[in-house]
Amino acid sequence: MVVKIPRWESDRFGIDESLGPEMMSIGEVMGIGRTLEEAWQKAVRMLDIGEPGLVGGRIYHEASIEEAMKMVKERKPYWFLYAAVLLREGFSVDDINEWTGVDKFFLYAIKRVVDFYEGLRRGEPLPLEEAYVLGFSEEQLRRALGNDPLRRLPVVKQIDTLAGEWPAATNYLYLTHGGEVDDYTGPGVDAVVTGAGGVFRIGVSVEFDWSVVNTVLMLKRLGYRIGVLNYNPETVSTDWDFADKLFFDQLTPETLRNILIKERPKFVVLWAGGQIGQRLYGKARSWLIENVRILGTRPESVDLAEDRSKFSKLLDELGLDQPPWAYASTIEELIGLVERWLDYPVIVRPVMCLVVRTWALPGIGRNYSIMLTRRLG
């Protein structure tokens, strides 16, 4: 089963969100699984909007009924996440079908995911095997159960790119819990390259695909067998005949660890994949396995350079000049810092934490307005 979802950034520009032959979406993702629910939940995670799947995220737990009805009735991007909210609150598949015109086949898939998740939250003795077949991630299961679930290793399956007419020699692969044994894909690869920054978005496009492609070509020239992990169907790095093995799957610690266990490569390359690769660096201890090393800069050094608070503290320790800075974890805390002792103008870098840098310029009065931006999710 394959589910494609367009990635939208309608919060940045006043765009037309209607579905049609000239959609203003900026990219797309493609989830592959053995069930509709598994492929759909994978695709939601691939969007990189902070949602762990159809259920269990910010929208599912924080959206009001009024907001959910508006998003569903107007068929806004990601309406299906809000449909899950309504199904949890007692609205029927018939109601959502009437409002959206979406076939009930797809709505019942959302309902199965919602019902199972709510059953786990109520403490019902539901089999985790079914949870994995429905596409639940370990993060979703932790949120529902309140503890770490038993980790279950998925199997690797090969897509038949020749529709059964001839034997498919191309290793176009995906991971799934909807099976018992791995398909035969030949010997393991020497290196796994995570790639292309995932889905295209504003400010992230083909440059990461270019870096992955050239990294793979270079490693091939050195005689290595290469596997690529990516999920963007619009890239060269996901052409099924480009690498020795293409894992068309999620760029998460969970998925990467499972691939390393299956393939046992000599090393893994993260620096060609942009921001998503940087996040994987920071969580290296959760997915790195014995005898597999990261090619390039150590994870600790990347984290030191990536975390602006740690980096600014390092500059202070080394006595290197930098603008005055402060750390804030909430907008309210940030405003308090600025009003209390920072000079204007203020530059805010919106990341998972907020680091404020200021330049004290002569003649700049305290009546300057501040534009604060915040990254949601």
pLDDT per residue as tens digits for the range 229-265:
988 888 888 887 889 999 999 988 889 999 999 999 9
Pick the more confident residue, 361 or 139.
139
Within a domain: 365 = no
Is residue 74 located within the same domain as residue 26?
A: yes
Boundary-marking domain end, from 116, 145, 174: 145
CA–CA gap between residue 230 and residue 238 (Å, rounded): 7
Per-residue pLDDT, averaged over 151-156, amounts to 88
State yes or no: pLDDT of 324 exceeds 90: no
- Angle subtended by helix axes 104-121 and 79-88, to nearest 10: 60
State yes or no: pLDDT of 171 exceeds 60: yes
Is residue 209 located within the same domain as residue 240?
A: yes
Within a domain: 377 = no
Provide the CATH number for the domain around residue 250: 3.40.50.20
Is residue 207 located within the same domain as residue 346?
A: no
Within a domain: 185 = yes
Is residue 261 located within the same domain as residue 328?
A: no
Residue 368: pLDDT band with limits 50, 70, 90: very low
Q: Is the dihedral of CA 36, 141, 288, 27 positive or negative?
A: positive
Is residue 86 located within the same domain as residue 210?
A: no
Q: Which residues pair with 7 in a beta bridge?
A: 27
Is residue 180 located within the same domain as residue 250?
A: yes
Is residue 318 located within the same domain as residue 210?
A: no
Is residue 170 located within the same domain as residue 295?
A: yes
Per-residue pLDDT, averaged over 263-289, amounts to 81
Q: Are 284 and 252 in contact (CB under 8 A)?
A: no
Predicted local confidence at residue 205, as pLDDT:
67
What is the pLDDT of the chain when averaged over all its residues?
Answer: 83
Which pairing describes strands 245-248 and 172-176: parallel, antiparallel, or unpaired? parallel
CA–CA gap between residue 229 and residue 208 (Å, rounded): 13
Within a domain: 366 = no
Predicted local confidence at residue 301, as pLDDT:
84
Boundary-marking domain end, from 113, 145, 177: 145
State yes or no: pLDDT of 224 exceeds 60: yes
State yes or no: pLDDT of 186 exceeds 60: yes
Is residue 294 located within the same domain as residue 311?
A: no
Boundary-marking domain end, from 303, 325, 343: 303
Within a domain: 260 = yes
Within a domain: 363 = no
Within a domain: 373 = no
State yes or no: pLDDT of 57 exceeds 90: yes
Predicted local confidence at residue 39, as pLDDT:
97
Is residue 39 located within the same domain as residue 63?
A: yes
> What total number of domains does the chain contain?
3
Within a domain: 238 = yes
Is residue 170 located within the same domain as residue 263?
A: yes
Is residue 134 located within the same domain as residue 167?
A: no
> Structure pTM?
0.82
Predicted local confidence at residue 278, as pLDDT:
75
Q: Which domain holds residue 78?
A: 2-145
